[in-house]
Structure 1
Amino acid sequence: MALWDRLKESATTMQTQLVAKKNDLKSGAFRDASMAMCALVAAADGSIDASERRRVAQLIASNEVLQNFLAADLQRRFDEGLDKLAADFDFGKVGLLQEVAKAKKKPAEARAVIQIG
């Protein structure tokens, strides 16, 4: 159980860090990279389940940092990412990784994208 407690504590700490930087995380690069990361995580096992779509929809609705953006826009970008992966997984993955890489210009955004994922 100690490992589980450490994981929960780490997740709580990461969420606190994200909320503290909420006002710095309003760029289009962060928005696009976050949804690309979510699409990559959802499809990491090679399939995209309805439960994974629901989980991202819940994240969009409940995450304070993502509330900087319109929920419908985030959902559309996530769905577009999934469509790219479904059409051609390898090529779609490359495109989504390029979106994620755009966040590297700002270290705070890059860390936040990883934390969102």
Structure 2
Amino acid sequence: MAFSNRLVSPAVQRTDPAGAPPGGSAGAPSVPPEASPPGAREDRWGTAFRDAALGMCAVLSAVDGRIDPAARMRVAQLVGAHEILGRGPAEELRHLFEDNCARLIMDPAFGHAYVMAQIAKATEFPEQAAAVLRIGSTVGRTDGELGAHALTVIREACQVLRLDPVEFGV
């Protein structure tokens, strides 16, 4: 499976940089593209956001010591369609996601701690932290609802990112 825009159908709705659908966002307001000078958006939404978002995707995909194949596909589609994450090199994004997944499978306790440290990279930027949680909510929804594992992970990520879980409906 490759992280590429080819996995995403043209009908997939684009998201704003914070991960919210166009026309409104849950949580922190997004910054319109024209509000940032060229190059500034890439700096602001750089590696810390990428690492945190892919860490969140991996920890939500890992349930009971395995990675759900359906969750991998949801992550691939989300990353390919996301305005900021979709700009990154597909192979690099896939490698980061797979590395996090491997850590979670090989040593669940250490892997979980490592991935939470990746998520914590977005703590300094509240807008990015909120976007990471919205991405997590999207990935964690199975059949339209957040399962028990996803709720637990998102609540823990809220603590790590110093955000109120109520703001994200958990």
Question: Once the two structures are superposed, what CA deviation does each residue of 1:50-108 show, in whole Å capped at 9, x if it has no partner?
Answer: 11111111111111121232222111101100000010111100000011111101111
Q: Which has the higher contact order (CA 8 A, sep 6+)?
A: 1
Q: Following the alignment from structure 1 to structure 2, what is the Cα–Cα distance between the partners of residues 109 and 38?
A: 15
- TM-score, with length taken from structure 2: 0.55
Q: Following the alignment from structure 2 to structure 1, what is the Cα–Cα distance between the partners of residues 97 and 130?
A: 19
- TM-score, with length taken from structure 1: 0.77
Q: Following the alignment from structure 2 to structure 1, what is the Cα–Cα distance between the partners of residues 47 and 105?
A: 24
- Given candidates 70, 79, 94, the residue that maps to 1:75 is 94
Aligned to 1:95: 114
1:115 shift after superposition = 1.2
Count residues with an aligned counterpart. Answer: 105
Q: Which runs of 5+ in 2 are unaligned?
A: 1-19, 137-170
C-alpha RMSD over aligned residues: 2.3
- Given candidates 14, 22, 37, the residue that maps to 2:25 is 14
Q: Following the alignment from structure 1 to structure 2, what is the Cα–Cα distance between the partners of residues 101 and 93?
A: 12
Q: Which runs of 5+ in 1 are unaligned?
A: 1-10
Q: Does 1:64 align with 2:83?
A: yes
Aligned to 1:116: 135
> 8 Å contact 1:36–1:78 — kept in the other structure?
yes
Q: 1:82 to 1:36 in 2, by over 3 A?
A: same
Q: 1:14 to 1:75 in 2, by over 3 A?
A: farther
Which structure has more helix as a fraction of its residues? 1
Question: Once the two structures are superposed, what CA deviation does each residue of 1:5-60 show, in whole Å capped at 9, x if it has no partner?
Answer: xxxxxx64338x558479365211111011000001111x3231211111111111
Identity of aligned residues (%): 35
